[in-house]
Structure 1
Amino acid sequence: MEVLWFSLQREYHSGTINKKDASLYKKWGKALKLLSDNPRHPSLQTHDIRELTERYGERVWQSYLENKTSGAMRMYWVYGPDSKSITIIGLEPHPEDKKSGAYARIVLSDLPPLDRI
């Protein structure tokens, strides 16, 4: 996720970014700011995803980058690796059909080693 973020940032600041990626960069940046200030900010509509939590063995949260649009992007994250950190582990379009195992198709980055005290 870090590589993607810095790639978008570099392209945005150099003026070589395409329209779709520029929109993603701006929305993701806004969501990251809100997340860092308050993970429960109302516009993020943060909630945990049981299916992903069970698969990864760590509580996985989903926050909105956008809503009410086809393919609305979602940011997936976990608390850690330490008690005051959040790690972004995925950026995916919202799975359209929850009944057909949609979250099984979500691919997330590897979880960081978590400090457990």
Structure 2
Amino acid sequence: MQFLICLGIPEMLALWERLRQGHVEGKLSKQEEKLYQKWGKAMKLLASNHAYPGLHTHEIGPLSKRYGMKVWQSYLENRNSRAMRMYWVYGPDQRDITIIGLEPHPEDKKNNAYDKVTLSGI
């Protein structure tokens, strides 16, 4: 099933638009360009197959509990410290996925690490 990727408003949309515009104009730093490329690839994979193995998609229980709906995490990268993660929910429509956060992986899954993750308004 193909999904439409929506960006949580306003933070996710503003970040994506800034990265996209900077890419078009060639004004991104090396780190920003890397983020733009990885995030774009991850969104394309998520839209076509949310269970794509390379995304390592899984529900984050503490965030689901906090927000009262299932919050999922997918990898933008792996095997490096502070690897970026994309947080998302299904909706608002049946075939929509809304990106609500883009954060480095919490360093310690214990000690309420996901309490420090800040997500966009749903």
Q: Specify if TM > 0.5.
A: yes
Partner of 1:106: 117
The aligned amino acid for 1:110 is G
Give the drift of 1:23.
Answer: 0.3
State the 4+ residue runs in structure 1 displaced beyond 4 angstroms.
none
TM-score by length of 1: 0.94
TM-score by length of 2: 0.90
TM-superposition CA deviations, 1:43-74 (whole Å, max 9, x none): 00000000000000010000000000011000
Is the partner of 1:108 in helix, strand or coil? coil
Give the drift of 1:100.
Answer: 1.3
Kindly indicate whether residue 79 of structure 2 is the aligned counterpart of residue 68 of structure 1.
Answer: yes
Kindly indicate whether residue 12 of structure 2 is the aligned counterpart of residue 6 of structure 1.
Answer: no
Partner of 1:115: none
Higher relative contact order (CA 8 A, sep 6+): 2
1:30-45 matches, cutoff 5 A? 30-45=41-56
Identity, in percent, stands at 58
1:19-38 matches, cutoff 5 A? 19-38=30-49
Q: Which runs of 5+ in 2 are unaligned?
A: 1-11
Give the drift of 1:26.
Answer: 0.2
The number of equivalent residue pairs is 111
